[in-house]
Amino acid sequence: MIEIRNVKKRFGEVQALAGITTEIAEGQVFGLVGTNGAGKSTLLRSLCGIYRPDEGEILIDGEPVYENPSAKSKVFFISDDQYFFPGGTPMDMLRYYETLYPGFDRERFFSLMDALKLDPKRKVSTFSKGMKKQLSILYGVSAKTKYFLCDETFDGLDPVIRQAVKRLFIKEMEERKMTPVIASHNLRELEDICEHVGLLYQGGILFSKDLDSMKLGMFKVQIVFREAEDEKRIAEMFEVVDREQRGSLLTLTIRGSRTEIETAISAQTPVFYEVLPLTLEEIFISETEVLGYDFKNIIG
Protein backbone atom coordinates (compact mmCIF):
# COMPACT_ATOMS: atom_id res chain seq x y z
CA MET A 1 0.00 0.00 0.00
CA ILE A 2 1.06 3.57 -0.67
CA GLU A 3 0.20 5.97 2.16
CA ILE A 4 0.23 9.73 1.60
CA ARG A 5 -0.04 11.69 4.83
CA ASN A 6 -0.60 15.44 4.77
CA VAL A 7 2.01 15.97 2.05
CA LYS A 8 2.92 19.55 1.15
CA LYS A 9 5.40 20.75 -1.46
CA ARG A 10 6.21 24.29 -2.51
CA PHE A 11 8.40 25.63 -5.32
CA GLY A 12 9.08 29.26 -4.52
CA GLU A 13 5.74 31.04 -4.50
CA VAL A 14 3.90 28.06 -5.99
CA GLN A 15 2.14 25.66 -3.63
CA ALA A 16 2.33 22.49 -5.74
CA LEU A 17 0.89 20.14 -3.08
CA ALA A 18 -1.31 21.50 -0.33
CA GLY A 19 -1.67 18.86 2.36
CA ILE A 20 -2.66 15.73 0.43
CA THR A 21 -3.79 12.70 2.39
CA THR A 22 -4.93 9.48 0.72
CA GLU A 23 -4.08 5.80 0.29
CA ILE A 24 -3.47 3.70 -2.81
CA ALA A 25 -4.38 0.07 -2.22
CA GLU A 26 -2.53 -2.81 -3.86
CA GLY A 27 -3.77 -4.64 -6.93
CA GLN A 28 -5.99 -1.92 -8.39
CA VAL A 29 -5.63 0.78 -11.01
CA PHE A 30 -5.59 4.18 -9.33
CA GLY A 31 -6.41 7.11 -11.60
CA LEU A 32 -5.08 10.51 -10.62
CA VAL A 33 -6.93 13.21 -12.54
CA GLY A 34 -6.64 16.97 -12.80
CA THR A 35 -5.67 19.74 -15.20
CA ASN A 36 -2.11 20.73 -15.98
CA GLY A 37 -0.75 22.44 -12.89
CA ALA A 38 -3.06 20.59 -10.49
CA GLY A 39 -0.09 18.83 -8.86
CA LYS A 40 -0.22 15.40 -10.53
CA SER A 41 3.40 15.29 -11.70
CA THR A 42 4.69 16.71 -8.42
CA LEU A 43 2.78 14.07 -6.48
CA LEU A 44 4.10 11.25 -8.68
CA ARG A 45 7.67 12.49 -8.31
CA SER A 46 7.14 12.58 -4.57
CA LEU A 47 5.70 9.06 -4.57
CA CYS A 48 8.82 7.63 -6.20
CA GLY A 49 11.21 9.59 -3.98
CA ILE A 50 12.48 12.20 -6.41
CA TYR A 51 11.02 15.07 -4.39
CA ARG A 52 11.15 15.33 -0.64
CA PRO A 53 7.92 16.69 0.84
CA ASP A 54 8.24 19.96 2.75
CA GLU A 55 5.77 18.52 5.24
CA GLY A 56 4.10 15.14 5.73
CA GLU A 57 5.34 11.74 4.63
CA ILE A 58 4.92 9.11 1.93
CA LEU A 59 5.19 5.43 2.82
CA ILE A 60 5.65 2.53 0.42
CA ASP A 61 4.56 -0.65 2.19
CA GLY A 62 5.20 1.06 5.51
CA GLU A 63 8.62 2.50 4.60
CA PRO A 64 9.43 6.16 3.87
CA VAL A 65 10.29 6.39 0.18
CA TYR A 66 12.61 9.41 0.16
CA GLU A 67 16.30 8.38 0.16
CA ASN A 68 15.29 4.78 0.82
CA PRO A 69 16.58 2.33 -1.84
CA SER A 70 14.45 -0.50 -0.43
CA ALA A 71 11.20 1.41 -0.95
CA LYS A 72 12.31 2.94 -4.26
CA SER A 73 13.07 -0.51 -5.71
CA LYS A 74 9.34 -1.26 -5.57
CA VAL A 75 8.45 1.69 -7.80
CA PHE A 76 8.93 2.42 -11.51
CA PHE A 77 8.08 5.91 -12.74
CA ILE A 78 7.39 7.08 -16.28
CA SER A 79 7.46 10.86 -16.46
CA ASP A 80 5.66 12.90 -19.08
CA ASP A 81 9.04 14.17 -20.31
CA GLN A 82 10.86 10.84 -20.58
CA TYR A 83 14.64 10.72 -20.41
CA PHE A 84 16.87 8.60 -22.64
CA PHE A 85 20.64 8.64 -22.97
CA PRO A 86 21.73 11.10 -25.72
CA GLY A 87 22.50 9.06 -28.82
CA GLY A 88 21.55 5.90 -26.95
CA THR A 89 19.62 2.84 -28.08
CA PRO A 90 17.00 0.81 -26.22
CA MET A 91 19.81 -1.62 -25.37
CA ASP A 92 21.73 1.13 -23.55
CA MET A 93 18.73 1.98 -21.40
CA LEU A 94 18.07 -1.72 -20.84
CA ARG A 95 21.50 -2.20 -19.28
CA TYR A 96 20.93 0.88 -17.12
CA TYR A 97 17.59 -0.36 -15.79
CA GLU A 98 19.05 -3.79 -15.10
CA THR A 99 21.45 -2.17 -12.64
CA LEU A 100 18.56 -0.42 -10.86
CA TYR A 101 16.10 -3.30 -10.84
CA PRO A 102 17.69 -6.73 -10.17
CA GLY A 103 14.44 -8.46 -11.09
CA PHE A 104 14.37 -6.91 -14.58
CA ASP A 105 13.00 -9.49 -17.05
CA ARG A 106 15.17 -9.17 -20.15
CA GLU A 107 13.35 -11.95 -21.99
CA ARG A 108 9.98 -10.29 -21.43
CA PHE A 109 11.38 -6.97 -22.62
CA PHE A 110 12.58 -8.39 -25.94
CA SER A 111 9.32 -10.28 -26.42
CA LEU A 112 7.32 -7.08 -25.99
CA MET A 113 9.73 -5.11 -28.21
CA ASP A 114 9.19 -7.67 -30.94
CA ALA A 115 5.39 -7.57 -30.50
CA LEU A 116 5.39 -3.78 -30.92
CA LYS A 117 7.96 -3.94 -33.73
CA LEU A 118 10.48 -1.67 -31.97
CA ASP A 119 14.13 -2.01 -33.00
CA PRO A 120 16.39 -2.43 -29.92
CA LYS A 121 19.43 -1.27 -31.85
CA ARG A 122 17.94 1.88 -33.34
CA LYS A 123 18.77 5.22 -31.71
CA VAL A 124 15.94 6.34 -29.45
CA SER A 125 16.32 9.91 -30.72
CA THR A 126 14.87 8.72 -34.06
CA PHE A 127 11.76 7.29 -32.39
CA SER A 128 8.46 9.15 -32.56
CA LYS A 129 6.82 10.46 -29.38
CA GLY A 130 4.47 7.49 -29.32
CA MET A 131 7.29 5.00 -29.83
CA LYS A 132 9.25 6.55 -26.96
CA LYS A 133 6.22 6.25 -24.71
CA GLN A 134 5.79 2.60 -25.72
CA LEU A 135 9.45 1.96 -24.95
CA SER A 136 9.16 3.51 -21.50
CA ILE A 137 6.11 1.38 -20.74
CA LEU A 138 8.01 -1.77 -21.74
CA TYR A 139 10.87 -0.88 -19.39
CA GLY A 140 8.37 -0.35 -16.60
CA VAL A 141 6.57 -3.63 -17.16
CA SER A 142 9.82 -5.58 -17.52
CA ALA A 143 11.27 -4.07 -14.34
CA LYS A 144 8.70 -6.15 -12.42
CA THR A 145 8.15 -3.54 -9.73
CA LYS A 146 5.13 -3.70 -7.46
CA TYR A 147 4.04 -0.12 -8.21
CA PHE A 148 4.04 1.45 -11.67
CA LEU A 149 3.61 5.24 -11.73
CA CYS A 150 2.67 6.75 -15.09
CA ASP A 151 2.35 10.44 -15.96
CA GLU A 152 0.05 10.95 -18.97
CA THR A 153 0.64 7.32 -20.01
CA PHE A 154 -1.60 7.30 -23.07
CA ASP A 155 -0.61 10.69 -24.45
CA GLY A 156 0.90 10.22 -27.92
CA LEU A 157 -0.31 6.63 -28.35
CA ASP A 158 -2.64 5.68 -31.17
CA PRO A 159 -5.96 3.98 -30.25
CA VAL A 160 -4.73 0.45 -31.04
CA ILE A 161 -1.61 0.80 -28.88
CA ARG A 162 -3.64 2.40 -26.08
CA GLN A 163 -5.85 -0.66 -25.86
CA ALA A 164 -2.82 -2.96 -26.06
CA VAL A 165 -1.19 -1.11 -23.14
CA LYS A 166 -4.37 -1.33 -21.08
CA ARG A 167 -4.57 -5.08 -21.71
CA LEU A 168 -0.90 -5.38 -20.77
CA PHE A 169 -1.54 -3.61 -17.46
CA ILE A 170 -4.47 -5.90 -16.70
CA LYS A 171 -2.36 -8.98 -17.48
CA GLU A 172 0.42 -7.80 -15.16
CA MET A 173 -2.12 -7.13 -12.41
CA GLU A 174 -3.58 -10.62 -12.75
CA GLU A 175 -0.23 -12.40 -12.87
CA ARG A 176 1.80 -10.52 -10.25
CA LYS A 177 -0.52 -8.00 -8.55
CA MET A 178 1.10 -4.93 -10.14
CA THR A 179 -0.48 -1.66 -9.02
CA PRO A 180 -0.58 1.05 -11.72
CA VAL A 181 -1.04 4.68 -10.70
CA ILE A 182 -2.00 6.65 -13.80
CA ALA A 183 -2.09 10.45 -13.85
CA SER A 184 -4.03 12.16 -16.62
CA HIS A 185 -6.08 15.23 -17.41
CA ASN A 186 -8.21 13.15 -19.77
CA LEU A 187 -11.02 11.37 -17.91
CA ARG A 188 -12.15 9.43 -20.98
CA GLU A 189 -8.76 7.70 -21.18
CA LEU A 190 -9.07 6.37 -17.63
CA GLU A 191 -12.72 5.37 -17.57
CA ASP A 192 -12.39 1.79 -18.82
CA ILE A 193 -9.35 0.84 -16.75
CA CYS A 194 -9.41 2.65 -13.40
CA GLU A 195 -10.98 1.12 -10.30
CA HIS A 196 -10.29 4.01 -7.95
CA VAL A 197 -9.93 7.69 -8.82
CA GLY A 198 -8.61 10.74 -7.05
CA LEU A 199 -9.25 14.31 -8.19
CA LEU A 200 -6.48 16.86 -7.69
CA TYR A 201 -7.22 20.57 -7.82
CA GLN A 202 -4.79 23.40 -7.04
CA GLY A 203 -2.46 21.06 -5.18
CA GLY A 204 -5.14 19.48 -3.02
CA ILE A 205 -7.16 16.32 -3.40
CA LEU A 206 -10.89 17.00 -3.58
CA PHE A 207 -11.77 13.35 -3.09
CA SER A 208 -10.59 9.78 -3.65
CA LYS A 209 -13.31 7.23 -4.35
CA ASP A 210 -14.00 3.77 -5.72
CA LEU A 211 -15.30 4.16 -9.27
CA ASP A 212 -17.74 1.24 -9.20
CA SER A 213 -19.45 2.41 -6.03
CA MET A 214 -19.77 5.90 -7.52
CA LYS A 215 -21.30 4.51 -10.72
CA LEU A 216 -23.75 2.29 -8.87
CA GLY A 217 -24.96 5.10 -6.65
CA MET A 218 -25.85 7.72 -9.25
CA PHE A 219 -27.70 7.64 -12.57
CA LYS A 220 -28.82 9.94 -15.36
CA VAL A 221 -32.54 9.78 -16.16
CA GLN A 222 -34.01 11.16 -19.37
CA ILE A 223 -37.74 11.51 -18.90
CA VAL A 224 -40.93 13.13 -20.16
CA PHE A 225 -43.42 13.51 -17.31
CA ARG A 226 -47.17 13.80 -17.87
CA GLU A 227 -47.61 16.34 -15.05
CA ALA A 228 -45.28 18.80 -13.30
CA GLU A 229 -46.29 17.25 -9.97
CA ASP A 230 -44.70 13.97 -11.03
CA GLU A 231 -41.25 15.57 -11.02
CA LYS A 232 -41.86 17.04 -7.57
CA ARG A 233 -42.68 13.59 -6.20
CA ILE A 234 -39.40 12.19 -7.57
CA ALA A 235 -37.47 15.11 -6.05
CA GLU A 236 -39.03 14.35 -2.67
CA MET A 237 -37.97 10.70 -2.86
CA PHE A 238 -34.38 11.11 -4.16
CA GLU A 239 -31.49 13.54 -4.12
CA VAL A 240 -31.52 15.23 -7.53
CA VAL A 241 -27.94 16.33 -8.13
CA ASP A 242 -28.49 18.01 -11.49
CA ARG A 243 -31.43 19.05 -13.67
CA GLU A 244 -31.55 20.07 -17.32
CA GLN A 245 -34.67 20.83 -19.38
CA ARG A 246 -34.86 20.80 -23.17
CA GLY A 247 -38.42 21.23 -24.34
CA SER A 248 -40.49 18.47 -22.78
CA LEU A 249 -37.42 16.24 -22.24
CA LEU A 250 -36.04 16.48 -18.71
CA THR A 251 -32.63 15.10 -17.77
CA LEU A 252 -32.09 14.43 -14.07
CA THR A 253 -28.96 13.18 -12.32
CA ILE A 254 -30.26 11.21 -9.36
CA ARG A 255 -28.44 9.63 -6.44
CA GLY A 256 -29.79 6.17 -5.57
CA SER A 257 -29.92 2.56 -6.74
CA ARG A 258 -31.06 1.79 -10.28
CA THR A 259 -33.87 -0.48 -9.07
CA GLU A 260 -35.27 2.11 -6.66
CA ILE A 261 -35.10 4.86 -9.28
CA GLU A 262 -36.79 2.78 -11.99
CA THR A 263 -39.53 1.62 -9.61
CA ALA A 264 -40.31 5.16 -8.47
CA ILE A 265 -40.35 6.62 -11.97
CA SER A 266 -42.47 3.80 -13.40
CA ALA A 267 -45.05 4.51 -10.71
CA GLN A 268 -45.49 8.01 -12.20
CA THR A 269 -46.39 6.48 -15.61
CA PRO A 270 -44.30 8.96 -17.64
CA VAL A 271 -44.67 9.35 -21.40
CA PHE A 272 -41.06 8.20 -21.78
CA TYR A 273 -38.06 7.50 -19.56
CA GLU A 274 -34.62 5.95 -19.78
CA VAL A 275 -32.13 5.31 -16.95
CA LEU A 276 -28.50 5.60 -18.09
CA PRO A 277 -25.16 5.02 -16.35
CA LEU A 278 -22.98 8.10 -15.92
CA THR A 279 -19.62 8.55 -17.58
CA LEU A 280 -16.62 9.21 -15.36
CA GLU A 281 -16.70 12.86 -16.38
CA GLU A 282 -20.39 13.19 -15.47
CA ILE A 283 -19.73 11.55 -12.10
CA PHE A 284 -16.97 14.02 -11.31
CA ILE A 285 -19.08 16.96 -12.42
CA SER A 286 -21.83 15.89 -10.05
CA GLU A 287 -19.54 15.07 -7.13
CA THR A 288 -17.52 18.26 -7.35
CA GLU A 289 -20.58 20.46 -7.66
CA VAL A 290 -21.82 18.94 -4.40
CA LEU A 291 -18.52 20.05 -2.85
CA GLY A 292 -19.04 23.57 -4.18
CA TYR A 293 -16.65 23.43 -7.14
CA ASP A 294 -17.52 24.11 -10.77
CA PHE A 295 -16.07 20.98 -12.35
CA LYS A 296 -16.54 22.28 -15.87
CA ASN A 297 -13.81 24.83 -15.12
CA ILE A 298 -11.55 22.33 -13.34
CA ILE A 299 -11.19 19.66 -15.99
CA GLY A 300 -11.65 19.90 -19.71
- Give the chain's mean pLDDT: 88
In this structure, are 276 and 164 located in the same domain? no
What is the spatial distance between Cα 113 and Cα 91, in angstroms, rounded to a whole number?
Answer: 11
Residue 18 sits in which domain range? 2-210
Q: Say whether both 128 and 44 belong to one domain.
A: yes
Distances in whole angstroms, Cα of residue 71 to Cα of each of 9, 62, 179 = 20, 9, 15
| Total domains present in the chain | 2
The Cα–Cα gap between 266 and 248 comes to 18
pLDDT of residue 176: 87
| pLDDT number for residue 289 | 66
Q: Is the pLDDT of residue 248 over 80?
A: yes
Q: Pairing state of beta strands 196-201 and 55-60?
A: unpaired
User: What's residue 300's pLDDT?
Assistant: 47
DSSP-derived secondary structure letter, 125: G
Tally of CB atoms within 10 A around 91 = 13
What digits encode the pLDDT tens for the residues 118-165?
999 999 999 998 899 999 999 999 999 999 999 988 877 888 888 888
CA angle 150, 166, 1 (to 5 degrees): 50
Q: Are residues 143 and 167 in the same domain?
A: yes
Instruction: Identify whether residues 164 and 113 lie together within a single domain.
Output: yes
- For residue 285, pLDDT over 50 is answered with yes
Sorting pLDDT into bands at 50, 70 and 90, what band is 250? very high
* pLDDT per position as a tens digit, 48-70: 999 999 999 999 999 999 999 99
Rounded Cα distance between 126 and 169, Å, is 26
CATH number of the domain that residue 163 is part of: 3.40.50.300
The pLDDT of residue 238: 92
Tallying the residues shown for the chain, one arrives at 300
Q: Is 4 helix (H, G, I), strand (E, B) or coil?
A: strand
Reported as type and span, the H/E element at residue 105 is: none
pLDDT in tens, 258-268: 999 999 999 99
- Considering the domain architecture, whether residues 185 and 79 belong to the same structural domain is answered as yes
**In the chain, % of residues over pLDDT 90:** 54
The reply to whether 235 and 115 lie within a common domain is no
In terms of domains, do 132 and 276 share one?
no
Tell me what pLDDT residue 76 has. 95
Residue 65 backbone dihedrals phi, psi, to 5 degrees: -85, -30
Beta strands in 99-186, from DSSP E residues, in sequence order: 147-151, 179-184
Asked whether residue 274 falls in the same domain as residue 152, the answer is: no
Domain boundary among 149, 180, 210: 210
Give SS3 for 270: coil
pLDDT tens digits for range 175-232 = 888 999 999 877 777 777 888 888 888 888 877 878 777 777 889 999 999 988 899 9
User: Does the pLDDT at position 233 exceed 60?
Assistant: yes
Q: Which of 210, 243, 267 finishes a domain?
A: 210
Report long-range pairs for 242-249 (Cβ below 8 Å, ≥24 apart).
242/285, 242/286, 242/289, 248/224, 249/222, 249/223, 249/224
Single out the residue in 185, 210, 235 at which a domain terminates.
210
Q: Are residues 181 and 230 in the same domain?
A: no
Are both 69 and 129 inside the same structural domain? Answer: yes
CATH number for the domain that contains residue 291: 3.30.70
Whole-number pLDDT of residue 194: 85
